[in-house]
Amino acid sequence: MKRYKKILIGGTVAAMLLLTFSFTQVNYFEVTKNLDIFTTLYKELNTFYVDTLNPQKLMEAGIKDMLEGLDPYTDYIPEEDMDEYRLQTTGKYGGIGAIIGTRNEWVMVTEPYEGFPADKAGLRAGDKIIEVDGKSARNFKTEQVSAMLKGKPGTEVVVKILRLKADGSEEQMTVKMIREEIKIKNVPYYGMVDDKVGYIRLSNFTDRAGQEVKNALQALEAKTKLKGVILDLRGNPGGLLNEAVNVVNVFIDRNTEVVSTKGKLEEWNKSFYSLNDPVDLKVPVVVLADGGSASASEIVAGALQDLDRAVVIGQKTYGKGLVQSTRSLPFGAKLKVTTAKYYIPSGRCIQAINYAERNEDGSVKRIPDSLKVAFKTRNGRTVYDGAGIDPDLPAEAEKLANITISLITKSLMFDFANEYRAKHDKISSATDFKLSDKEYADFVAWVNKKEYDYTTKSEKTLEALKEIAEKEKYFESIKADYETLKKSMMHDKQLDLEKEKAQIKSMVEEEIVSRYYLSTGRTQTALRSDNEVKLAVEVLKDGKKVEEILAKKQ
């Protein structure tokens, strides 16, 4: 009987090994077969195609199409794009430290970074870049001018600009700067939004994000005994997974699991724990999140929610539960490939889209509500997987009026702020500055001389009704009524400028303040009218509100 068992077990193992070997051989055969087809096809094209081929362009097109069938995060990075990739992961580059953008035929400065060469040299938003190191920049694209301004730290760059004067004319100026290593801050701003409530804005997850949040919290706690702190992750697209762990670690005890990853290969099955002592385990925390909060932002928001360490306020997050790793390719290129899914402390994965299964038209499928699974936080609250992080306290995001969107897209607020700066050498502090009613009236008069327009939702709906009626051949019978309704619904820009005064005025104030106090001033001004921040302050100052929310079992 023992001998029979040995033979049976041995035969089973051999069969399993044979099946594994066969599968590997088949998979290997399919790979080599299709690679052979691909290379042979290219050789034939290169030999017989009527025109000369561009090998790089052709191959990159093939790679792009191949990866397009996967998920949007698996990407090919050619050698010439590696500087941009390194900037995304480290936040560092050599240059002058300024955001630039195109306006008509010129690239112009839209905002200098505080404390870097552009700021120290006195460059302002609205300065047109007409020449870099003796080369004209007229009709150049933003990327071209950016490449000209970047360079090795310590090298000189000479820039000629046109600057708007108070009388409306422009003066030419030559500015010499020494390039520096520019490190874009993960925490562009922190401060007090109330006498007892601190605020930390986290916009990226590049190197040292955790350290920057730690430094910010320590600086706030050195000022006063905080009743709470707001961690703002709105619009933060994510970044390095280990930095997400470091940010969570600021608020939780060491040796706590923050996130785990699971992939096809054993090497991607990992757990990530907080390794350091926290800054504060007791200060109440509110995390602000929205639909633009993704990836590492969702790890932070989700982990703090699962561990019942923070109240999440805002809107449902993006729903990216995928992890990417980079693989080296020949000739300095890289492949950024999705290798795993991540799972936050409750055990849930918040990935909202299933890229492995697609509809017949090729579009991706979102995880349906019926397939979402319930999980429990540390205190027993119910949370769900498969669709991002749901806020504990939903808050409606501010909706921009059509006229506000038009003023932004046409850069009219930007241009008005440039003119204001040219006419006013200084203003009051960022927290105190406000446009007077007369100044807002001046803005309205100024805007009314500009060309811009927009379509309201009602007008769009009416136009859609017309198209349907025309298709169904009813339009002629309702044409007179349609024209009357259209005339009565026609928007009045002058009326809208008054109706949406509060929103437009606050945004113009932000734009003007940024001309004097840069990004810090813009944020301080914006916080005055931020309803989600106001709600967070109310929750934190309540005393027991945070505890009640986090203790509530569903």
Catalytically annotated residue among 71, 194, 290, 306? 306
Phi, psi at 221, each rounded to 5°: -70, -20
Residue 442's pLDDT is 96
Alpha carbon distance 196, 51 (integer Å): 71
* Range of lowest pLDDT (1-15, 260-274, 353-367): 1-15
Mark whether 367 and 408 lie in a shared domain. no
Ramachandran assignment for 15, one of left (phi > 0), alpha (psi -120 to 50 degrees), beta (any other): alpha
Residue 489's pLDDT is 59
In this prediction, residue 490 has a pLDDT band, given cuts at 50, 70 and 90, of low
Residue 86's pLDDT is 80
Mark whether 408 and 524 lie in a shared domain. yes
Residue 488's pLDDT is 65
Mark whether 209 and 319 lie in a shared domain. yes
Last residue of a domain, one of 168, 183, 198: 183
Written as six digits, the tokens of 135 are 């080369």
Is residue 271 in some structural domain? yes
Higher pLDDT, 194 or 13: 194
pLDDT, tens only, 266-316: 989 999 999 999 999 999 999 999 999 999 999 999 999 999 999 999 999
Looking at this protein, which amino acid is placed at residue 18?
A: L
Alpha carbon distance 34, 39 (integer Å): 9
Alpha carbon distance 302, 245 (integer Å): 11
- Secondary structure (3-state) at 133: coil
Instruction: Tell me the residue range of the domain where 466 lies.
Output: 457-489
Average pLDDT over residues 203-229: 96
Residue 362's pLDDT is 65
Mark whether 211 and 249 lie in a shared domain. yes
Phi, psi at 363, each rounded to 5°: -70, 155
Is residue 58 in some structural domain? no
| Secondary structure letter of residue 368 according to DSSP | P
Residue 459's pLDDT is 73
Instruction: Calculate the average pLDDT of the chain.
Output: 89
Is residue 69 in some structural domain? no
DSSP string, 96-112: --EEEEEETTEEEEEEE
In this prediction, residue 42 has a pLDDT band, given cuts at 50, 70 and 90, of confident
Q: Are strands 393-394 and 311-314 parallel, antiparallel or unpaired?
A: parallel
* CATH code of residue 144: 2.30.42.10
Mark whether 302 and 440 lie in a shared domain. no
533 CB-near residues (< 8 Å, 6+ apart): 193, 199, 230, 232, 288, 527
Total structural domains within the chain: 5
Mark whether 124 and 148 lie in a shared domain. yes
Is residue 382 in some structural domain? yes
Residue 500's pLDDT is 95
Residue 386's pLDDT is 82
Average pLDDT over residues 459-486: 81
Catalytically annotated residue among 203, 274, 295, 514? 295
> Is the pLDDT at 416 greater than 90, yes or no?
yes
Average pLDDT over residues 35-60: 88
Is residue 553 in some structural domain? no
Strand segments (E) across 377-530: 382-384, 393-394
Q: Are strands 322-328 and 334-343 parallel, antiparallel or unpaired?
A: antiparallel
Is residue 70 in some structural domain? no
Identify the H or E element spanning 159. strand 156-164
pLDDT, tens only, 139-184: 999 999 999 999 999 999 999 999 999 999 999 999 999 999 999 9
Contact (Cβ atoms closer than 8 angstroms) between residue 221 and residue 229:
no
> Is the pLDDT at 462 greater than 90, yes or no?
no
> Is the pLDDT at 485 greater than 90, yes or no?
no
Contact (Cβ atoms closer than 8 angstroms) between residue 67 and residue 74:
yes
Mark whether 206 and 175 lie in a shared domain. no
In this prediction, residue 360 has a pLDDT band, given cuts at 50, 70 and 90, of low
In this prediction, residue 342 has a pLDDT band, given cuts at 50, 70 and 90, of very high
Mark whether 160 and 272 lie in a shared domain. no
Residue 361's pLDDT is 65
Asked about 487 being catalytic, the answer comes back as no
Mark whether 424 and 290 lie in a shared domain. no
Mark whether 302 and 441 lie in a shared domain. no
Last residue of a domain, one of 183, 216, 234: 183
Residue 399's pLDDT is 93
Alpha carbon distance 368, 418 (integer Å): 48
Identify the H or E element spanning 135. strand 135-136
Is residue 68 in some structural domain? no
> Is the pLDDT at 238 greater than 70, yes or no?
yes
Per cent of the chain over pLDDT 70 is 93
Is residue 317 in some structural domain? yes
> Is the pLDDT at 15 greater than 50, yes or no?
no
Last residue of a domain, one of 160, 183, 206: 183
400 CB-near residues (< 8 Å, 6+ apart): 408, 503
Mark whether 393 and 471 lie in a shared domain. no
Cβ atoms < 10 Å from Cβ of 238: 20
Alpha carbon distance 93, 25 (integer Å): 46
286 CB-near residues (< 8 Å, 6+ apart): 228, 229, 230, 231, 310, 311, 312, 313, 536, 539, 540, 546
* Range of lowest pLDDT (15-24, 187-196, 198-207): 15-24
Higher pLDDT, 9 or 492: 492
Asked about 320 being catalytic, the answer comes back as yes
* Helices 402-409 + 412-423 axis angle, to 10: 60
Residue 368's pLDDT is 75
534 CB-near residues (< 8 Å, 6+ apart): none
Most trustworthy range by pLDDT among 37-51, 107-121, 356-370: 107-121
Residue 19's pLDDT is 39
Q: Are strands 382-384 and 374-376 parallel, antiparallel or unpaired?
A: antiparallel
Residue 16's pLDDT is 39
Mark whether 100 and 244 lie in a shared domain. no
Alpha carbon distance 71, 350 (integer Å): 16
Higher pLDDT, 538 or 4: 538
> Is the pLDDT at 533 greater than 50, yes or no?
yes
* CATH code of residue 232: 3.90.226.10
Average pLDDT over residues 53-81: 87
Catalytically annotated residue among 185, 214, 320, 505? 320
Alpha carbon distance 90, 240 (integer Å): 9
353 CB-near residues (< 8 Å, 6+ apart): 71, 319, 364, 365, 366, 367
